[in-house]
């Protein structure tokens, strides 16, 4: 068994694809419209789905935003250098909501960025 993807609902698919590809450096792996269901699925990630876990962006055509609720926490992405990645994301127009630095009660360096729909993404350095 392996984890295939995480699905999140997005209000503006083009805006979300731009964020995940241009700002976070992922690739648009595939995209398909489902007219009978009035939704579109787009899959983004850092590598091919056969070898990597990816994110499924689900856009329901009649919904332009979602309430995130209080059960969802965040997605996590490993980066080589958290400080550098956070600066690059900020320079590209991404919203940093927690600046890079040691985590509370620990030494692991983390940062958080928010995607256009409000989902939080944690940036983590490689395990030491």
- The full set of domain ranges for the chain reads 5-60, 75-124
Q: Would the CATH topology of 5-60 be identical to that of 75-124?
A: no
Distance CA 43, CA 9 (A): 12
Q: Which of 24, 26, 61 is nearest to 41 (CA)?
A: 61
| Architecture of the domain made up of 5-60 | Roll (3.10)
**pLDDT tens by residue, 56-102:** 999 999 999 999 888 889 999 999 999 999 999 999 999 999 999 99
Q: Can you give the pLDDT at residue 46?
A: 98
Q: Which of 25, 30, 23, 24 is nearest to 5 (CA)?
A: 30
**pLDDT tens by residue, 29-45:** 999 999 999 999 999 99
Catalytic residues, by residue number, are 122
Q: Which of 46, 7, 13 is nearest to 31 (CA)?
A: 13
Q: Which CATH number fits domain 75-124: 3.40.630.30, 1.10.10.10, 3.40.190.10, 3.30.720.110?
A: 3.30.720.110
Distance CA 44, CA 111 (A): 21
Residues of the chain with pLDDT > 90, as a percent, come to 87
């Amino acid at each position: 068994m392996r984890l295939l993807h995480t699905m999140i609902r997005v209000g503006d698919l083009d805006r979300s694809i731009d964020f995940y590809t241009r700002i976070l450096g992922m690739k648009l792996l595939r995209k398909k419209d489902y007219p009978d269901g009035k939704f579109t699925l787009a899959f983004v990630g850092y590598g091919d789905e056969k070898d990597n876990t990816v994110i499924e962006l689900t856009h329901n055509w009649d919904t332009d935003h979602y309430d995130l609720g209080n059960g969802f926490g965040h997605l996590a992405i490993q980066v080589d250098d958290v400080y550098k990645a956070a600066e690059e994301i900020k320079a590209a127009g991404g919203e940093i909501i927690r600046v890079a630095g040691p985590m509370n009660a620990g030494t692991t360096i983390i940062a958080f960025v928010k995607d256009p729909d409000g989902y939080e993404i944690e940036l983590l350095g490689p395990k030491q």
